[in-house]
Amino acid sequence: MAFGEQPAYLRVAGDLRRKILDGTLPPHARLPSQARIRSDYGVSDTVALEARKVLMAEGYVEGRSGSGTYVRERPERRRVVRSGFRPTGAPSPYRQEQADEACVGTWESRSAQGAASADVAERLGIQAGDRVMCTRYLFRTEGEPSMLSTSWEPLALTARTPVLLPEEGPVRGQGVVPRMAAIDVLVDHMAEEVGARPGLAEETSALGGVPGHIVIEIRRTYFASGRPVETADVVIPAERYRAVYHLPVR
């Protein structure tokens, strides 16, 4: 095979993908059978099978037991706007994660004390095994599951204070910045690391997706005078949402 030349199965997959994207093969249409692909493209059964596998892995088609392979309906992506914390007003955990004022959302949460894993401890600047408050959130945008977030706060900072539980107390449900300000900890910046990976079964189940589909993972940490005060993993289904950043220019 010459340099730069695609393998046959990728060329076949590419042409079928083009037909899906331009509507020649619309959502719910049956993908040509393996025998039809072999005949239309003049390729072997192996090439036809590999081309179908590529489209399935990319999420363009899905297999239905005893029926065949069909074009999946791909939802239009919505935006999750990331703009950093806002120090004024009364933000909520939903606004902390989704800053688009046009979006209407709710959240569910549960909190429990636990021991910091090695990864969480490194992110919070504490020792592995130190006690943390772990809070798990499920966010919904206009009723549709849209984000998961798991946050950790060091109990050395919040224990025996009114903000021990993020969703209880005098500033419950207002997000990290107002809660920390209530105990005289002034958050001055945040950092986010963005990556992508296959979604875990429990994540995609909660978000209404399929295990293995790609999710956007955002690792966020809030700081006060260089000290990490909260860190979180935010998980967003990549097929239905894209992360959009609005950041100030200095």
pLDDT tens-digit profile of 199-222? Answer: 998 998 899 877 778 899 999 999
Burial class (CB in 10 A: 0-12, 13-18, 19+), 127: exposed
pLDDT at residue number 2: 46
| Start-to-end C-alpha separation, the chain | 51
Counting runs of H as helices and runs of E as strands, what totals does the chain give?
8, 10
The domains of the chain are located at 8-71, 78-245
- Mean pLDDT over 162-175 rounds to 90
- Within its chain, how far is the Cα of 113 from the centroid? 24
Cα–Cα distance, 189 to 197 (Å, whole number): 26
pLDDT tens-digit series, residues 121-159: 999 999 999 999 999 999 998 888 999 999 999 999 999
> Is beta strand 189-198 parallel, antiparallel or unpaired with respect to 68-71?
unpaired
Highest mean pLDDT range out of 21-25, 103-107, 225-229?
A: 225-229
According to DSSP, the residues that pair with 138 across neighbouring strands are: 108, 148
Pair 238, 210: CB distance under 8 Å: no
Q: What is this structure's pTM?
A: 0.77
Using DSSP's 3-state secondary structure scheme, residue 119 falls into: helix
Question: Is residue 85 predicted with pLDDT exceeding 70?
Answer: no
Of 3.30.70.260, 1.10.10.10, 3.90.1570.10, 1.20.120.10, the CATH number of 8-71 is 1.10.10.10
The share of the chain scoring above pLDDT 70, in percent, equals 94
Domain at 78-245, CATH homologous superfamily: Chorismate lyase-like (3.40.1410.10)
- Name residues whose C-beta falls within 8 Å of residue 206's C-beta, 6 or more positions apart in sequence: 138, 145, 148
Q: Which residue has the higher pLDDT, 134 or 89?
A: 134
